[in-house]
Homo-oligomer: A and B are copies of this chain.
């Protein structure tokens, strides 16, 4: 990798593709001049858009593809149909071939994960990949994973997520030993699932090597930003993320109702309008767009499929930052520093209950 960061882009992924993707790339390029893009897409659709953004065209390569993965296609179908030929597959393949530092797609999440896993393969020492979210909190952004790459996780897989999440925190935030918490239903008592308790014991032993183990955290610790990395299995992570999104929209609706309730509140809203706009920006889900696939031999970012150019700009900025800060090296380093041969760890046999 030289000074230039090359991002491989599935130009056809997402509801507003390819226009929103290209427009987002144009906006991202304005902020980070030393980016190059490899767009994978249907030539007749993408080429005319590149003509609209000459600065982007100068920094891009267009690789034509034959097929596009539909948003509702099952992962197995997508693999059968789109392997080797689709914009999604080819975007990932560019990372595997060393042409790009990172790949990004706004397409079908299940298909993207299946193709990424099939093409890039899990890293040695990691049993399966996870999807990490960058989650805004009152303190600062934090990492929460897994967001639904897989349902269920045993202790070892939770430990893997902790390693991967810590590496991402080290790449994105300025922190050599990010704090890690395991999401659970109680902090003090001996509660929760055995897998979480066992993962806690392993992480407590390994604490200090690329991360600091904090202990269990609860759902409200996410928004507080109690730790830098929150680890949970995919079903719970997905429900937590969507519940938080729903709650944020709910409170925004309450606020809007309140501020339009009567003349005085409307006058107040007028005076506070710039502050309220700042609040709106802060709560805009487009500014934190992108799930990061971790644990594969290469980094793939999933953008929200329904987003617009602003969302794509954010996701592409995230891709750039991760490549720039050498995420893959940091994952490798964290794995290497992990003091225990993870698969052979013998857990204490006494139960604390």
* Complex Cα spacing A241 to B234, Å: 17
Chain B residues within 8 Å of A247, by CB:
222-223, 243-244, 247-248, 251
> How far apart are A194's CB and chain B's nearest CB, in angstroms?
10
Main secondary structure of the interface of A (DSSP, over half): helix
Pick the residue among B193, B241, B250 that contacts A235 (CB under 8 A).
B193
Is the CB of A58 closer than 8 A to any CB of chain B?
no
Copies of this chain, whole number: 2
Binding stretch for chain B, among A39-47, A168-176, A252-260, A329-337: A252-260
In chain A, positions 217-272 with a C-beta closer than 8 Å to chain B are: 218-224, 232, 234-236, 238-255, 258-259, 261-262, 264-265, 267-272
* Complex Cα spacing A207 to B173, Å: 50
Cβ of A242 and Cβ of B218 under 8 Å apart? yes
Cβ of A151 and Cβ of B219 under 8 Å apart? no
Is the CB of A347 closer than 8 A to any CB of chain B?
no
Chain B residues within 8 Å of A273, by CB:
268
Chain B residues within 8 Å of A72, by CB:
188-189
A-B contact pairs, 5 of them (CB 8 A): A185-B239, A221-B246, A222-B247, A264-B271, A264-B272
Interface set of A (CB-CB < 8 Å, partner B): 72, 74, 110, 137-138, 148, 151-152, 183, 185, 188-189, 192-193, 218-224, 232, 234-236, 238-255, 258-259, 261-262, 264-265, 267-276, 278-279, 282-283
